[in-house]
Amino acid sequence: MDRNAPETGRQPFVVGLGGTLRAGSSTERALRHCLDAVEQRGGRTALFSGEQINLPMYNPHEPARTPQAQALVEALRAADAVIVGSPGYHGAISGLVKNALDYVEDMRTDPTVYLDNKPWGCITCAYGWQAAVGTLGQLRGIGHALRAWPTPIGVAINSADKIWDDTGALIDTGVQNQLELLAVQVLTSAKPIGTV
């Protein structure tokens, strides 16, 4: 499935956004696992990570947008739900993820302003619990500011623990269960566009 091409249909469309500029980062792997769980339960997904969110600094007074920024905003407009993943850098979300989220401001005059009434799942990864949990709280607050509904569960991952094996496969069953529960909660609350 092309993760970056919204399709027509009544299945919920879930956009994943986040990660780092390093391919295969812990945050990107966690997002991919969660989106795979969404697909296994009948949802459609698109992932924006790495170079796809390496966007120019957001400027609301400059209307020109790169193709990558246009693709992200169009996917977010079409999304029934959003899952955001960020590393915890110095106790906060990364500049890369924050800048990508700033592009939601382009949706301020849409019929659905920002991400109004859309489920908002949060995943954070940091080398230690303090940054992972603090960053999770920030992502939840950003979701509220964007008029989204943060899911009851948010997943904070301590990258100091052995979460992945040497091939990049998820081996921590606790984290696996949380990511799959997040997928369930996002899908339970998502309403495909055009449905009531």
pLDDT, residue 194, reads: 55
Task: Indicate the residue type of 157.
Answer: I
Whole-prediction pTM value?
0.92
Percentage of the residues of the chain whose pLDDT score is greater than 70:
93
> Is a pLDDT exceeding 70 seen at residue 4?
no
The 10s digit of each residue's pLDDT in 160-173 is 999 999 888 999 99
Convert 38-72 to b/e letters by CB count within 10 Å (16 or more is b).
Answer: beeeebbbbbbbbebbebeebeeeeeebeebbebb
Beta strands in the chain (DSSP E): 13-18, 44-48, 81-89, 92-93, 119-126, 149-150, 155-158
List CB contacts of 142: < 8 A, sequence separation 6 or more: 84, 93, 101
Strands 119-126 and 149-150: parallel
Task: Return phi, psi of residue 120, to 5°.
Answer: -135, 105
> Is a pLDDT exceeding 80 seen at residue 5?
no
The 10s digit of each residue's pLDDT in 17-75 is 999 999 889 999 999 999 999 999 999 999 999 999 999 999 999 999 999 999 999 99
Q: Is 74 helix (H, G, I), strand (E, B) or coil?
A: helix
Domain boundaries, the chain: 13-189
Q: For 13-189, which CATH class?
A: alpha beta
Q: Please name the helix (run of DSSP H) or strand (run of DSSP E) that holds residue 139, with its range, or none.
A: helix 129-145
**pLDDT greater at residue 72 or residue 2:** 72
pLDDT, residue 109, reads: 96
Q: Mean of the pLDDT values across residues 88-113?
A: 96
pLDDT, residue 7, reads: 45
Q: Mean of the pLDDT values across residues 117-142?
A: 97
> Is a pLDDT exceeding 90 seen at residue 88?
yes
> Is a pLDDT exceeding 80 seen at residue 196?
no
